[in-house]
Structure 1
Amino acid sequence: MLSITKRFEFEMAHLLSDYKGKCSFLHGHSYKLEVSITGELAEGTDMLVDFNVIKELVEKEVIILLDHRLVLKDNHQNIKRFAISGEDVLWLPFEPTAERLILWIKEKIAIGLPKNIELYRLKLSETNTCFVEWINDR
């Protein structure tokens, strides 16, 4: 089985409103996202897919929505605090933990993949020492 991986980086701010601790305060991360796909070689080519196809898909479906954004759970507490602040907020129905973000990213990417390939693995790093992975267990 072959797989290829494309790396992305983006900056994002968030807070965890349902959490007691440092992460309940507004803060940001320099995220690193690795997107790995697997499948059969595309007919008439010697590659699974052009890396540019993956780049365009991930940038369109994920990076453009998260990069340099404030991402918050859509709840009364956050709306009261940030809705009139003028901040560029992406409101989500869940706390923007790394675990929930990677599942959201998986859904955003999977729907746009070419037919001959599938998502194999995602790795989302919040810091140099903390990351979450999703692996396709079919």
Structure 2
Amino acid sequence: MGKKIRLTKEFRFEMAHALWNYDGLCKHFHGHSYILRVTVIGEPNANRESPKCGMVMDFGVLKEIVNQEVVDRLDHALVLNKNAEHKDLLALPQMGERLILTDYQPTCENMLIEMAERISGRLPQNVKLHNLRLHETANSYAEWFAEDNG
């Protein structure tokens, strides 16, 4: 039996959102400085002829996947539930350029579910997504674990 190793890479992005029909302050437009920690698990490459020998995965490849699937898409974007009344907002110049409308309430928890789906689908076959941690503030975060999601 091989030896499993976990790799973690951290990403940062700025994003605004509002929680449609919420009963607290987060119903208003506001932004966060998000920190996303992505952990993958796998066995180091044992092929001595491979330039990736000894690696579970090249950190650069992980960075490329997460940037394409999450960071480049969400950084400096406004994320709203598609049921929110957003049509007047789109009438303002430039406001619709980085607007993402979701089928879900754009909470930290729901965003993690989508991130897990996007990242998992891009990982090499021998590498699995282990967990995600998304900090919305310095002391508030949500986590997604593969073992909890069958």
Per the shorter chain, which TM-score range?
over 0.9
Contact 1:71 1:89 in 2 (8 A): yes
Contact residue 42 and residue 116 of structure 1 kept, 8 A: no
Is residue 123 of structure 1 aligned with residue 133 of structure 2?
yes
> What letter is aligned with 1:84?
A
C-alpha displacement at 1:102, in angstroms? Answer: 0.4
Return the index of the structure with the highest Cα Rg: 2
Please, what TM-score do these two structures have when normalized by structure 2?
A: 0.87
Q: Contact 1:32 / 1:126 at 8 angstroms: preserved in 2?
A: yes
1:79-90 correspondence to structure 2 within 5 Å: 79-85=86-92, 86-87=94-95, 88-90=98-100
Is it true that 1:64 corresponds to 2:72 in the alignment? yes
Residue aligning to 1:2: 5
State the number of aligned residues.
137
Q: Secondary structure at the match of 2:143?
A: strand
Which runs of 5 or more structure 1 residues have no equivalent in the other structure? none
Q: Which position in structure 1 is the counterpart of 2:26?
A: 23
The 8 Å contact of residues 3 and 37 in structure 1, kept in 2 or not, is answered as: yes
- Whether contact under 8 Å (1:17, 1:95) holds in the other structure is yes
Gaps (5+ residues) in structure 2? 48-52
Q: Counterpart of 1:132?
A: 142
Match of 2:62, SS state, is: helix
Correspondence for 2:38: 35
Measured on the aligned residues, the alpha-carbon RMSD in Å equals 1.1
Identical amino acids, percent of aligned pairs: 39
